[in-house]
Structure 1
């Protein structure tokens, strides 16, 4: 009789200690028994998961929606059956993230699991930081890809101009000032691109391209000047129809988007006709749309899904590195927009970029 009273007293003391622990811990914890009935929870769990005292004694299935985790019942049962600790990252109903540990509650004398202790560690700040880091890394990779791609054009133009200078006869020096102007223009463009790179390097993770209200005509003229050598060499005819002139976007990014599309239209021209490029801007479904249509070689329908992949080239022309359209797609998607393409082999292509209308 005395032994039984001692066991009861010990159980009461253990229960009091467990109750005291659950009432004073600052970590959200639950105790669920082997029948999947909620027996105890800590005050932080009440706050985070909107638990109520009336939930004690209820089956976990009756309150599982509070945890925003559809497989919690299966996970608890797995730990009870296997005796293995389970760790997972979950999101709660208030959109916070937790590291969840489900630990078997072992009755040593009977050598069996009598339920589980579930512990939640708040990792919301860590998840937020990781996402910010991923965003910054993607932004810097995009910047470096853009600069590396864009700097190739003025370098090519500079090299071609120097070759032409070497071939000028003494009596043909009247062309010298114009060629010299091309050299200066290429050098100035490279200086601007390198300045962007240096600026991003010194500003570190704080660097971000800032959206501003832009005049599309100015961006188009900038692209036309940058590609002046290619336009002249190919005799390309460029027409513009600006229905939307004011666009809110990052200047460097919008210039890079249009530059790449126009450059590709010239690069993939047909040998059978003079290249014609039509650039339009208009509004559609809440977007400002800029389309670049050409009469070039076109794209086979088999390749339309892959042309935006990195290092994928439209054709074996010996030019380019297959980065341009990849950059355009990345820029548009990171800004909440998109790019589409319609094409027919031998007749040409129409690339359209959709920019979120921020009016």
Structure 2
């Protein structure tokens, strides 16, 4: 991280060059970078982010852009949770939080996680709070582990530890509420007879007093029930010894809400105890363990469809039910039995053996966890299982193995997959509907323009057409082409694919200069008022032409809303924050805010969500294209800003355009530009893959007196230049071409011939829209002969003068 901080150019941030950083900031950074614990520092008026190496994994997909960005932007997804902490810390309060849930979405998808951290104010050398300092650590594994452990222990206590044979429940007063049907089979009682206290009738009369006394005492004290009694067997008429055990279940306040118990047959053990009393204590314990192991799993395992097994620390099977054995055999081709080394059975599948060894080793360490895995061919009936692992302990709490409980989740996963496919189909349908609306609007407007061009061309073909009308029709064709280009530009601006030509300019001066033009657009009955702060220069880095177009579009909308009469006010605010707009998080800035306010009829609230959509308009047919505001928001978004609107019917409307504010450019002393060499013929390499455009382009250049060579693609153009590097005075290349595009060709030629002038042309380029022109001149399509002549006017003849 120290290397990344040193390598970054900080001149364009609010902190300035790193050489000028304060001693306090450098000291805190040194302390943070040397610490192995995850830490970050948010410093300065914009709370720019710094962090150490231990903090990098926490950032996830944000890692590539987090350094030096405002803290609020880096963690915008969880800002609602941490904003109060940041405010309190900047107010001077130190905070420590433990196991706070946050959704960091480190890989771009929602992710629930828990964190413990401390926030502290960061103090500069003057004793002021200059930022905040945080030490953090993820506690997700511990929080989830503790929750899973609590659940598994509760489940274990009520299902496994009680060694069930005849499960039963009763209420806090001791009245039986449920029992296994096995009780009826053993005792011969009727279906409803055991409820309440009816179960006592099946006991040996000599055992009833002691059993009732023990049971009543436990109900009163809340202590676990553990009592032996003899039970009448309906099948033989004899009595067999049974052991009844029960534990209470409590609510959050500690009150008993129910009792869970089991009755197990201990008759054989009672007889064995009688025969073995004279043996030593060690032998007696071994016998008890053997009997317990024999009966521990027998009944409960075979009453469930789940896959259940238990392993000893040496991977030896302590118990396995039929469902587990059947499925294991179907997947791996070998059937497990009690006493087998379960991992050893997979020696013929080394990859699976290694995987099973790792998983069971984790479980046998005492950890409780859950996995979801697929097994074998997805066409199998049950290919997906959710496997819960819990520790297995003896009566003294010692770890003696691990327990696995696997359930089939195949259908659940398939249902989720079907739901995802349905949602994707819905999104595709919505997308196609939007494309249909956009295509219809474009077709309508372009068909109108093409009608004018087609009609004018037909009239121009008349041999006896007067010169005045010929000029009128030619002007109509030229104007219509300009309107078509403007329509295309508005569509690209809305889609944020317009190839902008940004520069740094004083936006206040530009507003004042544009105001005079707005007066002619809005008409004499509308008074244009400009409110720009005096002696305060606000600079932005944007395309000035697109900015003026955005102002004109907003002014035209205001004129129509006021029906051509009223006051139109332009206001400029500097160093503003960007508010929350249409659900998008704001930021502290700085931004300039250009407001256009009218006194018109206002916008209906039902229309507000749609005003920036392409071709949406409330004007009469023929009065507007519905692309003006689309251009405004497209230009704003592509320039790093946004547009807000405030309106109410009958109270006028205010559109506010936000653009990032930049510092004024440094004074730059440049050489005087060389005079244009009009009349000098050039050798120009034209690169254009469209045959019609290529023919017209070479014809224009030849009419201007230049020599041309036409290459149909970038590869062919590169070969022409490499064949004779001194042959051409300039290159005129399209941007969007198959294979090597114009930008890639220009970069190759710049590396080969650094002083060869290269001019690009494009009507649309995703590369230019995202990354700019890369320093090359650009002529936008559609272009005229005059625009082409102007582009090459200042290009000197590098390969020797030629007479035009």
In the superposition, the TM-score normalised over structure 2's length comes to 0.23
In our comparison, the structure showing a higher alpha carbon Rg is: 2
Report 1 or 2 for greater relative contact order, CA contacts < 8 Å, sequence distance ≥ 6: 1
In the superposition, the TM-score normalised over structure 1's length comes to 0.45
Structure number with higher helix proportion: 1
